[in-house]
Chains A and B, each alone.
Chain A
Amino acid sequence: MTAPTRDPDLPGSADAVRDPGSFRDPGGFVYRRDGRLYRQVGPLAIDDWQRFVASGLADRLIAAGRLIGHVEVGLEAAASPDARAVISPEEIPFISYPYEWTFHELQDAALLTLDIQAEALRDGWSLRDASAYNIQFRDGRPILIDSLSFEPYEAGRPWVAYRQFCEQFLAPLALMASRDVRLARLLRADPDGVPLDLAKRLLPWRSRLNFGLLAHIHLHANAQRQHAAADDDGKAATSARLDRRRLEALVANLRSTTAGLRWNPGSTEWSDYAANTSYSERATAHKLALVAELSGRVPGDSAIDLGANTGRYSRIVADSGKRVLAFDIDPAAADANYVALRTEGRGDILPLVLDLANPSPGAGWESEERRPLLARARADLVIALALVHHLAISRNVPFELLTELFARLGPWTIVEFVPKEDPMVRRLLATRRDVFPAYDIDHFRAAVEARFAIEAETAIEDSPRTLFLLRRRSAPGG
């Protein structure tokens, strides 16, 4: 099963393709028809939905860019007969997942969730979930994409999504901040978030000195364990009451705990790379000018920068009018890029963490609930600068597989070839046997020409490197 499910038995649904990641909420689901995104609201959610839309809170959150906008469409667009309302939400250009985010992206998504909950509570509403997958990045800022997440606040009722917030946001952030930033990968292993008993075991002992982490993770995990064994049919839990002031204090405390988490990346492999390359000033200036010129020649409005580091060249490409996905394997480089872009107020570049040799797989139910990265990432232009040698030599990826990947991602590629005489390649080969007799520009060119026409090939001044502009001949497999 690779294609999204069709349900031919439902009237009017012959061409409605349900999103495989939209099944958990019985209140409504997301589907696509003729390329347009829809969401239908079912009988369970219709009353809350109509009140929410009329409440003023929805308009305010949408106007502030915190909640995705939508237009109401008629029931004729419904995917099934039990639809009570149908909306067409605004589309996000690229759906990313929490395990692809940097530390500050996950932190900003968490803070947005809490800020929305605080504002909702003031207006007599509450978030009925706090899933990290409900947040996406649009124009550089996080935004809630689940318009059906709101329910009327019921006096005395605790926050139903407290546990989910702790598992999907607070626990991974605490682990990234106080143990190792690579523990973000735990989110890839478990779509429901980091189990709190696991977070408790992995966190350093000193995390107990932080009141928020002590309470929301350590004591929370203990309480879960104790009550899992309790034999009272959940009576103690369902009779738990919490007035609004205490609930607001809880949300405020979660916010200060989340905002107080700091990650200091120090110096990682790549985050100093830009200041640490083998390039002379003249070579850098020439490469910058070349990338600007070549990306300006490529039609379209989207680009993928593979190996973006802190985004120097992503900015050049974005300046040519393209929205850029700036991937990098190093969480520190990608995070530095995000923080810099946030400060600049620039929304046309989205930094994400990606190991190109091991991109995010499908995950969740039938491995389709969260789509593989390579099924999501498409662009008009692919940029691969100072990347080929790392994949070809450090990861033993043949040129043919690399060019196949470029062709899969988009019709145009700007790629830099770094030959063996380059100091960076010499460094990669210093500690290993050179088993790459075919690593040279002629073999690279031959591999490229199987898939692409070479539109431009320019030697970078004062450097042994070469920059290519490639145009895809045919779709992969075609």
Chain B
Amino acid sequence: MFDFAIAYIDPGSGSLIIQVAIATAVAIPIFLRAQIGRFIAMVRNRRPGAPPVSEPVNEPPKPD
């Protein structure tokens, strides 16, 4: 539970609930796109002889 009493504008009950529903709906394609992208990258990296799509492996390791 959040203390919306500290907000000085009324977020509105219906607005909060629909906001969560809409945000979930619009986040799904973004999530799926990221997952598919990750999957494709993984498959390409595993294919023998195929150039990796992520960073080249011979690049010197970056310091943290």
Residues of chain A touching chain B, judged by Cβ–Cβ distance below 8 Å, are 24-27, 44, 128-129, 154, 156-164, 166, 215-216, 219-220, 222-228, 230, 234-242, 245-247, 249-250, 252-253
Assess A162 versus B25: contact at CB under 8 Å? Given A240-B17, A249-B30: no
Q: Which residues of B contact A162 (CB under 8 A)?
A: 11, 15-16, 19
> Which residues of B have CB within 8 Å of A242?
19-20, 23
Which B residues are CB-close (under 8 A) to A161? Answer: 9, 11
Q: In the complex the two chains form, what is the Cα distance from A162 to B4 in whole Å?
A: 13
Grouping DSSP codes into helix (H, G, I), strand (E, B) and loop, the A interface class, with mixed when no group exceeds half, is helix
Residues of B in contact, count (CB < 8 Å):
27
Residues of A near B9 (CB, < 8 A) are 24, 128-129, 160-161, 164
Residues of B near A24 (CB, < 8 A) are 8-9
- Supposing A215-B25, A246-B27 touch, asked if A224 and B19 sit within 8 A by C-beta, the answer is no
* Minimum Cβ distance to chain B for residue A183 (Å): 22
A219-B22 contact, Cβ under 8 Å, with A27-B8, A230-B13, A239-B1 = yes
Contacting pair B8 A158 (CB below 8 A): no
B contact residues around A156 at 8 Å (CB): 2
Q: What chain B residues lie within 8 Å of A245 (beta carbons)?
A: 27, 30-31
In the complex, the answer to whether A246 meets B24 with C-beta atoms within 8 Å is yes
Judge whether B15 and A224 touch: CB under 8 Å.
yes
29 contacts between A and B (CB under 8 A): A24-B8, A27-B8, A128-B9, A158-B11, A158-B16, A158-B20, A160-B4, A160-B7, A162-B15, A162-B16, A163-B15, A216-B22, A220-B18, A220-B22, A222-B14, A223-B21, A224-B15, A225-B14, A227-B14, A234-B13, A236-B13, A237-B14, A237-B17, A240-B16, A246-B26, A249-B26, A250-B19, A252-B30, A253-B22
